[in-house]
Structure 1
Amino acid sequence: MTATHAPSYLKGYEQRYRIDPRGAALAWFKDAKYGLFLHYGLYSVDARHEWIQYLERIPVAEYAKLMDRFTADRFDAGYICDLTIDAGMKYINITTRHHDSFCLFETKQTPFNSVNSPAHRDLIAELAEACRGRGLGLFFYYSHGRDWRHPHGPRNEDWGGAPRPKYDTPDPAYAPDHDYDLGKYVDFVAAQIRELLTQYGPVAGIWLDGRGVPMSGDWSKFKLTELYAMIRELQPQCLISYKEGVTGTEDFRAPEYKATEADDKPIEICATLFPDKLWGYSSELVHQSKTADEVWDMIARARERNANLLLNTGPCGDGSIHPIHDRVLREVGARLRKKGFPGEK
């Protein structure tokens, strides 16, 4: 890709892309309106929720045993992309690395990744190729503020926002006080995001999470200004979001469930098909998922704010999309094709 060749998802925005890649990407993003969020990781294998390690204070080594059961044998990137298109969506956002630090991509920074699991697959590479071939934008969710495994990740004694599980005694995976260095974690994050931006072709955006941690103290310690500069240098069209924002230089806000802040930037409301603010797959609660009518109302509320809706599904442990969610997404897509987006002629 060169400055004169726009990524496939920016088809129709080529002329602006040649002059202003970031401006072209923002225009596309506002027009896209609707995207698919995928929460997938080791927690999916347990099939209860994505915060099990934190809420149940599962030791780091014990939690890591879930990796032995991670096969992803029904994760089908082509199917996911075709579902996204049939749902009327223009982009996908996937958890490349959630708070548990397990990575769905090949990385030199840690062996704790899908390539080293029984799956032996780089799921991000597969999804990137499928998106590129279908003209879908691909965002990379990345847990920035929280890491429940890294020896030098943010500590509870230094930060708020649930940086680590509240173990009764310090987990042996964590660096002792005399050896602890947050800078090593900051460097780890930068190295991984560099990998994500150099291994998988054009990226629509880096979507950071864990905002409550840096916002609870001196966020400059996380070197976000430098991180954002690196992202924009490596891929000028790549948008940046950190939920409601940390530095103020992000490209759009991404609040959960509803927009509450001033509309000085584009807004993407993230919400989930699961009940009870659940993002990862739950075999028990999937049957209480939102209906097509409820999703339609969510889209309507987002459009009233001129906001995008990023709608989440959590793939099952094997990587498949639950039939209930598949059906709801397709029903909404059929309605969009028939009626257009709510509030639009």
Structure 2
Amino acid sequence: MTDRRDFIKTLSLAGTSLLLPSPFAAASINPEKTVPNYLSKYKDLYAKDPKAASLAWFNEAKYGLFMHYGLYSIWGRGAWVQLFEKTPVAEYRKLMNEFTARKFDADFITDLALESGMKYVNITTKHHDGFCLFKSAQTDYTSVHAAAKRDLVGELNAACQKKGLGLFLYYSVAADWHHPYFPAKTAGWQYFRPDYAQPQPEYRYKTEKDAERYTAYVKAQLRELVTQYDPAGIWFDPVRGLYARPDLFPMEEFYREIRSLSPHALVSFKQGATGTEDFAAPERKAASLADQIQSDFGAESAALAKRVWEAHHSKHNETCSTLQRGAWSYEPEDNDKRRHLGVQEVMDLLADAKSRNMNLLLNTGPLPEGDIHQGDAETLRKVGKLIG
């Protein structure tokens, strides 16, 4: 395992180094350079430079729909409920039997995005709990093996392709509370694992060498996501986990894998992991995390956070926010802290993003069965009419 100090120094040079060919990459998914539907306006540029076409599209897209949906939606207590309530792995897994996604309607979602003036959609293919909304040969912890028996990402992808919307795929890389070989809390971040009173038999991580098994899992799933769905891009999270131990998450390898498979796929990781991302995608205030990282993980990690954030200053970036205050996934609206935003508040978010040369990725948390909150849908449609 590479020394952590040396690894952080290596990352500091990543923004100026050449990306080497991936030794494990498969052939490109689009060798004929067939233009994706959402890039049809940029077909001439795409023929010359697919990545340039994607960036030109993204710069003009301005506005996208974000969705946090998973097992946690059933309980309605937040996407981090397994960690905060220390729910045993086996007990949390039983939620698969209740995950029907009966009202998840990709046509409704994509129509709503279009009516709202949005140009792309982003969905949590795998959040921190490790549950996947897509077909994967790497695990049975998926919506395909749950009560739903559906590939929700596949359905959304088909609808996006049909209607000319770009599809970004959110992927939690630096947190996975289900995978047996994901690093333990002792590896450097308190949120790597829930703080269970008793050891979980499902967890088998013992040494940092074991993390290589998780790395192989991520590489395989990224290949699946890119080759099965040909997305507009992969959107990584959580960046604090990355800053805690950047040596455990070989992001440049992951980026090379994605780019070797798809010449037009964009890559993002919140404030940035290496500085070589195509755009930054911070939450809400869109600020550097360096000061917080200094307090949490020390000077070296803080220096990395500062360098990669500064590497994105000249790029057209994105900020993400949510329609329900303080909640990314569905929670009951039982007090003002959880109320849903109104039309003017969304207009203010759009104006703020525009003033900072950023896109706005606006999140709604689908309800337990997968339908969209009625109030959010109404607000989005009204905003769509205002922005034309």
Q: Same fold (TM over 0.5)?
A: yes
Report what 1:340 is aligned to. none
CA contact (8 A) 2:279 2:316 kept: yes
Report what 2:302 is aligned to. none
- Of residues 257, 281, 297 in structure 2, which corresponds to 1:230? 257
- Of residues 313, 317, 325 in structure 2, which corresponds to 1:267? 317
- Of residues 245, 260, 263 in structure 1, which corresponds to 2:272? 245
Mean CA deviation greater in 155-164 or 171-180:
171-180
Which whole-Å CA distance do the structure 1 matches of 2:95 and 2:63 have between them? 32
- Of residues 189, 205, 208 in structure 1, which corresponds to 2:236? 208
Structure 1 segments of 4 or more deviating over 6 A? none
Report what 1:326 is aligned to. 377
Offset, 1:288: 1.0
**Higher relative helix content:** 2
Which whole-Å CA distance do the structure 1 matches of 2:190 and 2:272 have between them? 15
The one-letter amino acid of 1:163's match is F
Which whole-Å CA distance do the structure 1 matches of 2:387 and 2:76 have between them? 31
Q: Deviations over 1:170-195 (max 9, x none)?
A: 22211152697000001101101100
Offset, 1:285: 4.7
Report what 1:342 is aligned to. none
CA contact (8 A) 1:161 1:216 kept: no
Flag the 1:176–1:305 CA change in 2: closer, same or farther, 3 A: closer
| Partner SS, residue 186 of structure 2 | coil
Which whole-Å CA distance do the structure 2 matches of 1:175 and 1:221 have between them? 16
Flag the 1:266–1:220 CA change in 2: closer, same or farther, 3 A: farther
CA contact (8 A) 2:134 2:143 kept: yes
Report what 2:331 is aligned to. 282
CA contact (8 A) 1:161 1:213 kept: no
Which whole-Å CA distance do the structure 1 matches of 2:191 and 2:274 have between them? 20
Offset, 1:220: 3.4
CA contact (8 A) 2:205 2:211 kept: no
Q: Which runs of 5+ in 2 are unaligned?
A: 1-29, 289-309
Flag the 1:299–1:285 CA change in 2: closer, same or farther, 3 A: farther
Offset, 1:7: 0.4
The one-letter amino acid of 2:75's match is D
**Among the aligned pairs, what percent are the same residue?**
48
Report what 1:175 is aligned to. 204
Which whole-Å CA distance do the structure 1 matches of 2:207 and 2:380 have between them? 51
Offset, 1:155: 1.5
Which whole-Å CA distance do the structure 2 matches of 1:126 and 1:312 have between them? 19
Which whole-Å CA distance do the structure 2 matches of 1:167 and 1:264 have between them? 43
Mean CA deviation greater in 165-174 or 140-149:
165-174
| Partner SS, residue 277 of structure 2 | coil
Q: Write out aligned runs for 1:109-124 (5 A).
A: 109-124=138-153
- Kindly indicate whether residue 282 of structure 2 is the aligned counterpart of residue 255 of structure 1: yes
| Partner SS, residue 120 of structure 1 | coil
Offset, 1:226: 1.3
Report what 1:132 is aligned to. 161
TM-score, L = length of structure 2:
0.83
Offset, 1:45: 1.0
Q: Write out aligned runs for 1:156-195 (5 A).
A: 156-160=185-189, 162-175=191-204, 177=206, 181-195=210-224
